[in-house]
Amino acid sequence: MSEIPWWGLPLVAAVSALFGAGVTLLVSARDSYARSRAKRTKRWYAERKEAYIALMTEFERATYRLRAAYDDDRPPPGPFAYLDAVGPALMQVRLLASGQVRSAALAVHLLIEGLYASRPTPPPGVDPGKSVREMLGHVPLVMQEFEAAIREELEIRATPPAPLVVHPRRGLGSYIRRTPAEAEESRVSG
């Protein structure tokens, strides 16, 4: 006869079931956290990208309106038309953006806002008749700084990411016999 008490087997089964349930609960909680974090990160990028695109579009429209007015020898639109168009997009960027992007956006805004004033003030030593055209020429340069700050914050690169290299499945022996260079290559690529 066995020396295991009659309640030993049900106890081991119950402890094993509780342990399995606990592990399942922990794994599902970890997966849920990872999914929610991925959703938040994706939403973070989407919100900022939409806000930046909206503001850049408004800046381009405002610059185009000024150029068109000066090319046709018409008076430029009033400053309130500019503020009404750019205001909502600028406020969203001010709320969502990092300090560097916010500063670059405000630099573009102040330059364009100065051009929409009833009498734009020229820089010292510049002919007042030509100053507006010169200041309009500076808008694309300041916009480049704004775009660069956006690219840096959102980690947008001009080149596509490296392709994923998938190695065929190997047995345990191939991992043991591989060279240090092969080990480094598999660590970097996968």
Query: What domains sit in the chain, N to C, each tagged with a CATH number?
Result: 13-161 (1.20.120)
Q: Please choose, from the candidates 48, 63, 146, the residue with its C-alpha nearest in 3D space to the C-alpha of residue 105.
A: 146
> Which structure tokens are listed for 128?
């007042």
pTM for the model: 0.63
Q: Please choose, from the candidates 160, 155, 165, the residue with its C-alpha nearest in 3D space to the C-alpha of residue 187.
A: 165
- Alpha helix locations (H) across 97-127? 99-116
19-28 b/e (C-beta count within 10 Å ≥ 16 → b): eeeeeeeeee
pLDDT band at 76 (very low <50, low <70, confident <90, very high): confident
The percentage of the chain sitting over the pLDDT mark of 70, rounded to a whole number, equals: 77
CB contact at 8 A, 115 and 76 = yes
CB contact at 8 A, 122 and 128 = yes
pLDDT recorded at residue 50: 92
pLDDT recorded at residue 189: 59
Q: Which is more confidently placed, 30 or 122?
A: 30
pLDDT recorded at residue 18: 93
pLDDT at residue 173 greater than cutoff 70: no
pLDDT recorded at residue 170: 60
pLDDT at residue 1 greater than cutoff 60: no
pLDDT average, residue stretch 160-181? 64
pLDDT average, residue stretch 151-169? 77
Q: What are phi and psi of 58, to 5 degrees?
A: -65, -40
